[in-house]
Amino acid sequence: MSDKENLNAALAAATCALLGATNTAPVQASEADRWSFDTALLYYGESDDRVKDTSAAISATRDFSDERKLGLTLTADTLTGASASGAIAQDGPQTFTSPSGRAVYSTAAGEVPLDDTFKDTRFALNASWTQPLARLYTVSAGLGFSTEYDYTHIGANLLLARDFNKRNTTLSAGVSWSQDGIDPVGGAPLPLSQMLDVGNGANKAGSESKDVLDLLVGLTQVLDRTTILRLNYSFSDSSGYLNDPYKILSVVDPLTGDTIVRVPASGLQGPTGVYRFESRPDARAKHSLYAEVKHAFGAPVLTTAYRFMSDDWGIDSHTAEVKLRWPIGAASYIEPQLRYYAQTEADFYRVSLANGEPLPQYASADFRLGNFDAVTAGLKFGRSTSSGSEWSARLEYYQQSGDAPRDQIIGNQARRELYPDLKAVIAQFSYRFRL
Amino acid sequence: MKAIWLAAAALALTGCANVEPWQRDVLARPEMSPDAAPLDGAIDDHIYFSKEASSGGRGFGGGGCGCN
């Protein structure tokens, strides 16, 4: 309840910030010693009543003289809707115990099971300080904090940059560390333990935690008067509890592929099939390489970016992004945006677990660890006002299409939907102004 | 991957570009800054972090969210 009030207050504050901007003072020549604000309202909605997220963000930057800069960002998110549990579709209806362990939810025949008990509110606060350290050095330090119903995050980062070659080249290196606490609704399930009847918490433990260490090395290079290149290599090391506590796998007959039927204890509600909670390794190392080129063709600006990511869970991904900012008149622009993403599945990705076979050490049916590709297509329109403010609107469509690995499909699973497409609309309104 | 990294390093060391400070009219435009729309970037990172297995690249890995 208090979360909801906080959210309302945050939304009200963001709205006031948006409306209050019309009373801003006339533009002054100097950019130093002033606050600038970047605000955004976001709606993210998936089709078929899946996840919906409404979010408000306000970012305030204070420019001091001597290129010193303070940045503060506050974000409030509210999430509702259903998300795929990892269990597979069946010819008949299925019932599951909800994560809290206090109720059940059901899925109709032929449908991919979605857990509709999903609801959360998240607040995040980030602060950063940037300043020159010596003539050619810049240092930036940041702190971050976020909280939601079942999750808390604290983090800190430090980035050092040095200019070379008449400031045509910048090399940077940074480190970021975070510690997250996970306190799942109903407790963290023991990996690969079976989903139990309502009221039976024998397989649930308390809270868990994870640490993430990121290292980043970057190069920014001016290629010519109208082109700039950015290259980053980053390494990310996560350790601790890396499971999604709400994801499960169906345990199936090794010949038919149908979920093993289970009857709840007499007088109790509970799952009508055998389901086990997922189990991921407790460490993950990721390597990413990112390249971005910005080029101005006169007034229009083309941005292209590519990222390759590879981790020790067996996932490789490629991301390509193109944006073209095209001015319309003196005050407006449109920017078509296109993004393509493709990933391979994790080594331990499983469609289901075969009954009677020894349990693997690690297994997850989370679609996000599966083999899929995704396309985002969108358009942004921006307009600056006579007072120097700018508003913009962005509308995007996101679609994921995945495949279950052929060699994992058993019997009747072949004729059922195993990997439904995910379709989402993203709408964003932003307003940027100075005080 | 190594080849790209080496090429980048070579590029930087040889100082292939010699754009003088007074020739930076285009590069100084706000939309040419690598961080031209930081809030858009943060929103994108947050969405993709919660829906895909990759994160970061442009900056630190993102995260700090129970959504993945």
**What pLDDT is attached to residue A116?**
84
Alpha carbon of residue A266 to chain centroid: 42
Identity of the residue in B1, B39, B47 whose CB atom sits nearest the CB atom of A44 = B47
In which region does residue B14 sit, left (phi positive, over 0), alpha (psi from -120 to 50) or beta (all else)? alpha
Residues of A in contact with B65 (CB under 8 A): 122, 124, 146, 148, 151, 153
> Is the sign of the CA dihedral A366, A368, A371, A374 positive or negative?
positive
Give ∠ CA A101-A105-A109 in degrees, rounded to 5. Answer: 145
| pLDDT tens per residue, range A27-43 | 444 555 689 999 999 99
Cα A244 to Cα A57, A154, A183, A247, A249: the distances in Å are: 26, 19, 11, 6, 12
Q: How far apart (Å, rounded) are the C-alpha atoms in residues A81 and A419?
A: 18
Residue A247, chain B, CB below 8 Å: the answer is no
Q: What is the mean pLDDT of residues A137-163?
A: 96
Q: What is the mean pLDDT of residues A378-382?
A: 98
Residue A292, chain B, CB below 8 Å: the answer is yes
**What pLDDT is attached to residue A316?**
98
Cβ-defined contact of B42 to A221 (cutoff 8 Å):
no
Nearest CA in chain A to B42: A57
Cβ-defined contact of B40 to A428 (cutoff 8 Å):
yes
pLDDT at A127 over 90: yes
| pLDDT tens per residue, range B1-47 | 555 555 555 555 555 568 998 999 999 999 999 888 989 999 999 99
**What pLDDT is attached to residue B9?**
57
Q: How far apart (Å, rounded) are the C-alpha atoms in residues B15 and A393?
A: 39
- Band of pLDDT at residue A6, cut at 50, 70 and 90: very low
> Tell me, what DSSP letter sits at residue A365?
-
**What pLDDT is attached to residue B3?**
54
Q: Which residue has the higher pLDDT, A315 or A81?
A: A315
**What pLDDT is attached to residue A21?**
37
Q: What is the mean pLDDT of residues A343-362?
A: 97
pLDDT at A337 over 90: yes
Residue A308, chain B, CB below 8 Å: the answer is yes
| ipTM of the complex model | 0.89
**CA-closest candidate to residue B56, choices A181, A243, A76, A232:** A232
Which residue type sits at A37?
F
**CA-closest candidate to residue A278, choices A401, A203, A362, A373:** A362
Residue B57, chain A, CB below 8 Å: the answer is yes
Alpha carbon of residue A364 to chain centroid: 19
Q: Are A207 and A182 in contact (CB under 8 A)?
A: yes
Strands A52-63 and A422-434: unpaired
Burial (0-12, 13-18, 19+ Cβ within 10 Å), A424: buried
Identity of the residue in A166, A400, A428 whose CB atom sits nearest the CB atom of B43 = A428
* N-to-C CA span, chain B: 27
- As a whole-number percent, the residues of chain A with pLDDT over 90 amount to 86
Q: How far apart (Å, rounded) are the C-alpha atoms in residues A346 and A32?
A: 49
H/E stretch holding B2 reads helix B2-14
Q: What is the mean pLDDT of residues A425-431?
A: 98
pLDDT at A244 over 60: yes
Q: Are A392 and A323 in contact (CB under 8 A)?
A: no
| pLDDT tens per residue, range A287-316 | 999 999 999 999 999 999 999 999 999 999
Cα A159 to Cα A127, A167, A230, A255, B64: the distances in Å are: 14, 18, 16, 55, 19
Q: Which residue has the higher pLDDT, A432 or B4?
A: A432
pLDDT at A211 over 60: yes
Which residue type sits at A336?
P
Q: Is A387 helix (H, G, I), strand (E, B) or coil?
A: coil
Q: Is A396 helix (H, G, I), strand (E, B) or coil?
A: strand
**What pLDDT is attached to residue A8?**
47
Q: Which residue has the higher pLDDT, A246 or B10?
A: A246
Which residue type sits at A59?
S
- Number of CB atoms found within 10 A of residue A133's CB: 12
| pLDDT tens per residue, range A263-278 | 999 999 999 999 999 9
- Number of CB atoms found within 10 A of residue A284's CB: 20
Residue A89, chain B, CB below 8 Å: the answer is no
Mean per-residue pLDDT over chain A, rounded: 91
Cβ-defined contact of B19 to A166 (cutoff 8 Å):
yes
Strands A83-84 and A69-80: unpaired
